[in-house]
Amino acid sequence: MSKILVVGSGFAGVWSAASAVRLARAHGAEDVSVTVVAPGDDLVIRPRLYEAGPDRMRVPLDRILGPVGVRRIPAIVTGIDTDRRTVTGVGSDGRSIRSDYDKLILATGSQLRRPRIPGAELVHDVDTLPAAAALDAHLHRLPEIPPADGRFTVVVVGAGFTGLEIATELVDRLRPIAERVPGEVPRIVLVERSDEIAPELGPGPRPHILKVLARLDVAQRLGVSVAAVDRGGVTLSDGSRIAAATVVWTAGVQASPLTADIPGDRDRLGRIHVDEYLRAPDAPGVYVAGDTAATPADERTRVLQCCQHALQLGKYAGHNAVAEDLGLPLVPFVGEPYVTCLDLGSTDAMFSNGWDRRVIATGAAAKARKQRVNELFIYPPTDDPDELLRQADYRFSVRQLAPQPENLDSVVNEVR
């Protein structure tokens, strides 16, 4: 029996497991077992945690992977020994677990870089389901706290992708909560250490983003960082102060700490440099997928720590892990054309094409497409093993999920 062990149950982990099963079945390899080790029972739809009702942003893993025979071990992995090819951890029942593997796929994702400032324990985030749920509960309790300046002010730290999505979402999300207290009006403030909004998105989308922020009356403090947080607000690096009862941190992510157990070189985000087949060069039998992998997306740039690339990387990693085990040719990773799909509140969004982020849709049209991405394209099939394995093919594209002209091809091609 050959053991494929996937550590992690995010998008990369789920699709690694499904892809591994697909190739094994295609070649009648009944002696290949696929097991996922992860602490939770669900695939958390992490790209949607900025939305209201975050507790619903999850899908039971047993409805996705159970129908194709993937075994699941609910446990927190605490160590990986690549010499002995073993994984150790703590199960959901508190007992120690130890699993051997022939091929390991590390897909434990990324995590927010928590701030090291006074009052950091008061900061909220939307990086995990528990954190997003805690923020949601905190917002609904705001009318119950004693009246004070800034009671319905939210400071969002970081004006990148996540910061923009949560800041613009909070405009309408906070309004009905504030209306429970006569005379109160919600205020959202974006704090960004760069001198520009959305520094990593470049100049293409910025004019539309700024237009939307102005329309939504989202305030901006640029060229400063947060020096300290207290229950009454934040102190900025220039000595100024913003009264606020809520602070949401979105500034920066890093690869899972488990990458430290895999020998090899890493990039500045802690991701493992892998070869073209997603193998860790210094750890035989180890593949890396999702936010823990550093590999070229194309000839111009490396993959990003994002859902779009995690889906693709998982399918290649699962395929190649089984292919190597069966003595089949490995497939070099080739990323699909990159698109950016940015939510900008209840009625707006921005869709762009390519690494230069050429804007091809905004407003209602882009919002409708963003909703399709959030509610359809990123969700794996449930209770449908045949469809799951069809989509687990590394050659499958999300563009095949919807008929023309509503699929992503129409978005990418509409201005050509």
Q: In whole angstroms, what is the distance from residue 363 CA to residue 375 CA?
A: 18
Q: What is the pTM of this model?
A: 0.93
Domains parsed from the chain with CATH numbers: 2-111+253-337 (3.50.50.60), 114-249 (3.50.50.60)
Q: CA dist 153 to 69, 150, 344, Å?
A: 49, 5, 19
**Three-class DSSP category at 255:** strand
Q: CA dist 197 to 25, 163, 192, 201, Å?
A: 48, 10, 7, 9
**Amino acid letter for position 214:** A
pLDDT value for 221: 98
Q: Which of 111, 85, 82, 98 lies closest to 2, judged by CA?
A: 85
Q: Which of 6, 26, 10 lies closest to 389, judged by CA?
A: 26
Q: Which of 166, 136, 156 lies closest to 343, judged by CA?
A: 166
Q: In whole angstroms, what is the distance from residue 196 CA to residue 296 CA?
A: 27
DSSP 8-state symbol, 377: I
Q: In whole angstroms, what is the distance from residue 59 CA to residue 41 CA?
A: 9
What is the number of other CB atoms lying within 10 angstroms of the CB of residue 60? 14
Q: In whole angstroms, what is the distance from residue 139 CA to residue 154 CA?
A: 9
pLDDT value for 122: 98
CB 70 within 8 A of CB 21: yes
Q: Give every residue of the chain whose pLDDT is below 50, as ranges.
A: 403-416
pLDDT value for 402: 56
| Concatenated DSSP letters of 178-202 | HTTSTT---EEEEEESSSSSSGGG-
CB 138 within 8 A of CB 279: no
